[in-house]
Structure 1
Amino acid sequence: MTATFDDLDLSVLPPAYRAAFEALQASAARVPELEEITRRQEHLIAELNQALHGKKSEKLSEDERQLAFEELETALAEVEEQKQAEASDDDSPRQKRAKAKRKSRDLPDSLPRIEEVIEPDSLECPCGCGLMHKIGEDRSTRIDIIPAQHRIIETIRPKYACRVCTDGVTQAPAPARLIEGGLPTEAFIAHVLVSKYADHLPLYRQSQILARGGIDIHRSTLADWVGVASFHLKPVVDRLAEHLKRSTKLFMDETTAPVLDPGKGKTKTGYLWALARDDRSWGGDDPPGVVYFYAPGRHGQNAETFLTGFDGILQIDGYPGYNRLTRPSRKGGDPITVAHCWAHARRKLKEVFDRDGSEIAAEGLRRIAELYAVEKDIRGCAPGQRLSARKARSAPLVAAFGEWLQAQRLRVSAKSRLGEKLAYIHNHWNGLQTFLTDGRVEIDSNNVENLVRPIALNRKNALFAGHDEGGRTWGRIASLIETCKINGVEPFAYLKSTLEAIAAGHPQGRLDELLPWNYQPST
């Protein structure tokens, strides 16, 4: 029979041995619990690796993946904390946790810093030698937060009069305001705009947050402020669009923007069309920017209207509505040269490969990967260098892909799923070769696709815009916020400064000064 701790008579042991046995017994009792925590930890780590590297992650949207990462990392941190707490003795002081690796960038110098000096209770030497002297110090840095603070600004304008005569009364003029006689400052309006269109927080939720702080501002009042701001910002957005359309190459994409259909009690599908410039990959001089145009439908005529005055190269996906832009009958300018997207071509083949493991689709993916390998090597190079490399390395690959494509189309039924995907690539073949003729053109339109993601996030949180006019406001404010973001400009500071300038009567002839990339933070 095997002896256990329970079989021992601890009373016959010396006190020191008895204490050691009791500690060992307590530790043994915690072993199963610690093993369970370890198993949970290993399971969470496996799930995190699956979300990061497994095939299932490709079926999740970007937002769904980020949510999965957040929840898994949160659970993993909880388990690690629990494991540490269980491993330490209840009676012993809490052990210091291993210093966490800082995942974010260094904290900015612009943040105020408060030094807290913690002195010992006594500086007397324990040996009675007198006062000890400082030989060094340890410093640790933590980030703190003060929840959003609201304050009331009372503007007082004293009146002065002469005691001798009755003619002289003087008073300082009232400061300029965006909303005359209104409650909000320009900073408050800017905060509402950023919360709604950058942080995807609908107005009714903002109203609820304000109510928790004792401020009763109805959603409809916030909506009035947003409408006023949108009206005054319209000339700035129009000027931004003019700048973009003077470019020789732009991206364009569209995404749904559901709007409420008055009188029917349901939503209809509107669209926000993103027109973007991003020349950073080849060192272009023009700053990046994006403008979102709203339209109640997806008809190609809307794109034609939005692009009036633009005659350059347009990088797009395969939506047929853009075809009218390439015709001699195009209104608003000369026929446009289009550059189609290899990422969309790859996506078509990837869908087939994921479904049935098609060897033909796999071969197409391999060939496209060779093109992207060239692009990786020349990213950041000047247009001339990019064009030379493409002619030497990519052009033969594209020619071989074209021959392979036609051969596979003869083998595969046009009505099959794979046949449809191959036909898609064939129908856009001319546009897929545009990047071989101009070093400024990208191989895909991923730049603009990344710029429609914030619209999708706002759509998910707000559900729909209340009206077609709400869709236009949505696009207008989002244009300025997203242009700020891709130029490294803080949106709240920019909107606050711009609204204050407009309220102060900024001249219409100097709108360029109000464009996001020209914003200079006040020191």
Structure 2
Amino acid sequence: MLSVVNICHVRCRFRNRQIERRPCRAARAQAAEVELAQARALASCTQAMIQELKLEIAKLRRDKYGISSERRARLIDQLELQLEELEAAATEDALAAEQAAAQDKTSTVRAFTRRKPVRKPFPEHLPRECVVVEAPTNCTCCGSDRIVKMGEDITDTLEVIPRQWKVIQTVREKFTCRSCEKISQPPAPFHAIPRGWAGPQLIAMIAFDKYGQHQPLNRQSDRIAREGVDLSLSTLADLKRLF
């Protein structure tokens, strides 16, 4: 009994494989027909080109050696007729190849279910700003005030904060001693450029735009001027020399 069941199972699997292979065989046969039609069109075009070259050679020989004989004139006429026939055959083969290719392109495909696109979530390290839209205190349908919160919907919107410029004023207070009459004062803050006025982030921005983004200094000067800060091209060039 078990052997009969196994045999039936094997037969079913063999039939399923045969059914699966049928579309593949049909596709291969269709592709072979397309290739055959293209090969025929190419052969017809090649024969027409050869015949045209033979006709040109015959005409050149006639022009070179003067008035041709009656036999040569008949040969030229015969070549012209053969050329017309070959051109017509080449056109028919080309149309057949195009039709076969069009049929191959319109082959049926397996049905599938299109997935709904899912947006990639925003990075977690970005700060979140929560804006709560106030809900109505009364029902919008009947006007009753007996409403209870049942949930909420959150919509994420990606926003950018424009670049801001600022001037950092470092105040160092001076003190004098009434006993020894000496003045004491904290040391000056560190600057990337000694006795410079440009902060480290400003210098890094100019250097990155120049060498990382390949942005010339004149364009940087124009962009900074549109943001309300006047940094001339010569000033940026002086900073670039100190990198």
TM-score, L = length of structure 1: 0.23
Considering fraction of residues, name the structure with more strand: 1
Q: Which has the higher contact order (CA 8 A, sep 6+)?
A: 1
TM-score, L = length of structure 2: 0.47
